Chain A
Amino acid sequence: MKPAKFKYLYPSTIEETLECAFDHGEDVRFLAGGQSLVPMMNFRVATPEVLVDLNGIRELQKILIDDTGNIHIGAMTRTRTLETDNSIGTANPLLAEATKHIAHVQIRNRGTIGGSLAHADPAAELPGIILACDAEIYLQSPTRSRSVAAKDFFQGVFVTDIAQKELLIKVVMPAWPVERFWAFLEVARREGDFALVGVASWFDVDKSGRISDARVVAIGVSDRPVRLKGAEAQLSDQLPNSETFERASKAANSGITPTHDIHASAEYRREVSEVLVRRTLNEAWKRG
């Protein structure tokens, strides 16, 4: 399984990268970690004429926490860094936890957050976390810079809002309150496999002890990560307890038509997403 021929370019700045993309016609692809793209190239289901290697661009590897607590993560940040870096673990523990489930250490040593988001596998963990955290994704092309909210970014199986020639620069995650309750659980056939179903849940509790804000996001159930708004609605302004969580889990799938493949049926995904909603909410509450 050898890839087809391609021209290889190795820019060292964002500017150079965009020039490469601009100069080289339609069939250009960016090479981030390569953990999703290179298998596709080895199978020859992806045959780009030009491959622009992003691994030399230092600007894309930076992590910064700004003075409002927002976390700026460069697109080429390795998932292993997200897993092990202390500043990420403190700044957004949900993100750090979820990355432990991504494939295996050898993949995480090369795989990047930008690559994972741009690839947009519906069962991948990072798109789900980004959606759950209301992150903003920053893109740059030869002609403009813009940002897209996570909720608008993922548009289908392997389909995102990234336009031709646009480079994903960074992801900005809003500041994460230290008192937030959160959990992430997934069901996979084996450790490290893509999730059959995964759920990320968080909620904040106000001074009166009621849930003031919540997000419940599922991966693996649809053609993209989805907010289970039915579940979120059941949490809003409620007391955090097992009865509330049970109601939220029962409402999880309203409006969702789960997908079906050789590993799990739609019915399985529907059922198990409800189970994971209940379990993550209970675990989040226990953790606090």
Chain B
Amino acid sequence: MKHSYIGEAITRIEDERLLSGKGKYIDDLKLPGMAAMAIFRSPHAHAYINNIDISQALEVKGVLDVFCADHLDALPSIPLRLAPFPGFERYLQKPIAVNKVRYVGEPIAVVVAENRYIAEDALDLLSVEFTALPAITTVDQAISGKNLIHEETGENIATHYTVSRGNSDYAFANAGYTRKERFVTNRHGAVPLETRGLIAEFDPVKPLLRLHGATKVNFFNRRHLSDAFRLKEEEVELIETDVGGGFGARGELYPEEYLVPMASRRVGRPVKWIEDRRENLSAMNHSRDIIVEIEIAATKTGKLLGMRGTVLGDMGAYVRTNGGVVPSKAAQFLPGPYRIEAFSCDVQFLITNKTPVGTYRGPGRFEANFCRERMIDLMAADLDLDPAAVRIENLMTPSELPYRIGELVPGDPDATFDEGDHPGALKRLLEEADYDKWKNRQGEIIDGHAYGLGIACFIESSAAGPPESAVVSVAPNGSIEVKTGASSVGQGTETGLAQICADYLDIDIKRIIVRHGSTTLLPSGGGTFHSRNTVMAGNATRIASETLKQRAIELAALRWNCPTNDLIYINGSVQNTTDVLSLEELAAFAATRHETLSATGTFDNEKKLSYSYGAHAALAAIDLETGVVVIKKYFLTEEIGRALNPALVQGQAVGGVVQGLGGTLLDHMIYDENGQLLTGSFADYLLPTSSNLPEITAITLEESPSKLNPMGFKGAGEGGIVAVAAAVGNAVALALKPYNIAITELPLTPDRLRASLRKTGN
């Protein structure tokens, strides 16, 4: 087989339609008879609902239906998909508020009308009476339990556990150096540019529920929605359209995945619901709201001996499908790629009157890396050691890998960091970032700005979850279709899988169409999360392609009435010594036998995650008088095993860095003491833009191909974001070295930095 596409930076197949405005996102879809839905959402963070008066809303011309919990039968609970720790089952959310609201934005009533303008007119006429309750907006308030958000549970602690490896008490008792700090990571979130949207067509007679606008984990969601609506799985179809970004937050089961089908069932028409931005900021999963108290133990010369800590995760008002991942991964990744034999961590999951939390790119890792890398730099400063040298001394070396990290998430005892060269990745970064030039110039003032070069190391897992499937088939006209259960949220799935199929079938990539995500495409699929597509869907496509080649040979053997051993597959055709049969001809032949030329491939990595790793460096320039931080240059190295498409890998890295800069300097979901979301629009919730961006150098390393799949891939979707707060935090701390201020809380706003400088008399 001659490889011609895998590893090449080919331009994307998706782009032609997206560039021409021919993408079909959920709001672009129009179905005959379609009605529009709007949701009345709670203006209170915590309140009893005394009365809901829908009468005036019902009278608006063009309104088809108004309903709330009172109009519905037994309401299902939104299930847990990942990290289903015992205790969480007490805090699941119903799709609509029942007697009580627990966060601003919680759905209370639904309006269905001829169009969204009318639906919003009706929302204005809904009248709801509340008895407001005190809002719990901090983890301390949650822990105290003075006011209960879910009274029947008797507490606001959804669950609580301790994980450990080695003997941390011993390590701390015998350490020449210890230090303890508290770090706060800001609540912020995925905030994709396209808000969520769904269209439900509920036909009770067939019966069939078709839900458009689904993505990420469609087969899982279908299983649960079919349960909830008392349908068989095959009576529920989840259809994927073009998607405007997911970043972990889109595609999970939300209240609306239930409410939109309910609305369609009630009015007997297709119903479309498109979230507006105001809703999105309070209704789509928030993330990263974690406080970590961390203590490290080391020798006087900076050799790490142990680490212990407490992770407090603010889960919001309910535990949603994957909320538990965030704090649990923060704890698991706290020790990172370092030789830290003794580690223990107490993890608490707190319920507050805020939007529920779910995963956002690099969940838990962004936070863990910030804490741990800051601690390492603090230790380096205390012991007068070079931060890079300390890391090289403490990073695990190739001979120490693979390394079983211990059961740092309950129920996951086998997590194993695979082979790799962590010091090598760091050294490469230090070279690129010209670390030697900067290491003795930290804090130097250039042009009125204090400069610092901060570094951070990371390790990141990918490819979790169930097996993935692909079906490759050849049409009689010669076009090749790849169908997969994986989703595309914009990362280039159609191109990546086509590259793989084209190489393994030895054909021109232009013949291939990739269809993804929808449950109508194939019997089962694993979905897209945790940067798993390249590994899981990629290998499934490979297997399906190889199986297809076999089938082609078998078909040719039948056609030529000869043994398969006499035949070879080459150049998209099967050949014997004299004749050639193309895939197109073989497909036509199969059709005469009432068969299709197709094959299925399933890839199961048996829950063995791949681990990418590397290092980041940020060169920060700080205007001491205004507290404004500008990142001048950003570097990262990322070992991903093998790049399927280097340009797309680069896009993930750079995109991740910029999102990470937002999370470090700008993004912040701010609540007041009454649980009101103060950042309710883009005027106040700030996302990074094209101005004041650094030069970004992202180096993809392919020196350590994964041994867990024959193509050597590891996921590459999150390495760009996970160490940004860490590197930038360290850069700012080094730039401000002379002023001895704490860099322990995100985001690093001008206001916060000036307040810290002011406190130390600057």
Contacts and interface: CB of A to CB of B under 8 A. Distances in A.
Nearest to B753: A268
B449 to A, nearest CB: 13
A262 B691 contact: no
A160 B133 CA distance: 38
B557 to A, nearest CB: 63
B751 to A, nearest CB: 5
A267 B754 CA distance: 9
B28 interface: no
A86 interface: no
A251 interface: no
A265 B437 CA distance: 37
Contacts of A190: 666, 686, 688-689, 691-692
**DSSP class of B's interface residues: helix, strand, loop or mixed?**
loop
**DSSP class of A's interface residues: helix, strand, loop or mixed?**
loop
Contacts of B124: 4, 44
Contact of B691 (A192, A264, A267, A271): A192
Contacts of A7: none
Interface stretch (B113-121, B184-192, B407-415): B113-121
Most buried by B among A190, A267, A271: A190
Contacts of B681: 43
Interface in A242-264: 262-264
A131 B711 CA distance: 67
A268 B751 contact: yes
B120 A44 contact: yes
Contacts of B278: 1, 43
Interface in A179-198: 187, 189-194, 196
A267 to B, nearest CB: 7
B401 interface: no
B120 A2 contact: yes
Interface string A65-90: 00000000000000000000000000
B592 interface: no
Given A190-B666, A262-B684, A271 B754 contact: yes
A186 to B, nearest CB: 10
A268 B755 contact: yes
Interface string A89-101: 0000000000000
A272 B755 CA distance: 12
B670 interface: yes
Interface string A132-176: 000000000000000000000000000000000000000000000
Interface in B723-762: 749-751, 754-755, 758
B678 interface: yes
Nearest to A1: B276
Interface in A262-279: 262-265, 267-268, 271-272, 275
A5 interface: yes
Given A189-B666, A189-B686, A262 B750 contact: no
A43 B281 CA distance: 14
A271 B624 CA distance: 12
Contacts of A271: 625, 754, 758
A263 B121 contact: no
A44 B124 CA distance: 9
Interface of A: 1-2, 4-5, 43-44, 187, 189-194, 196, 262-265, 267-268, 271-272, 275
Interface of B: 116-117, 120-121, 124, 276-278, 625-628, 666, 670, 678-679, 681, 683-684, 686, 688-689, 691-692, 749-751, 754-755, 758
Top 7 closest pairs, chain A to chain B, by CB:
A191-B691, A1-B276, A2-B117, A275-B625, A264-B751, A268-B751, A2-B120
22 contacts: A1-B120, A1-B277, A1-B278, A2-B117, A4-B121, A5-B121, A43-B278, A44-B124, A187-B626, A189-B686, A189-B749, A190-B686, A190-B688, A190-B689, A190-B692, A262-B679, A263-B751, A264-B750, A264-B751, A265-B755, A268-B751, A272-B750
Given A190-B689, A264-B750, A272-B626, 19 more contacts: A1-B276, A1-B277, A1-B278, A2-B116, A2-B117, A2-B120, A4-B121, A4-B124, A44-B120, A44-B124, A191-B691, A192-B691, A196-B751, A262-B678, A263-B749, A264-B751, A265-B751, A272-B625, A275-B625
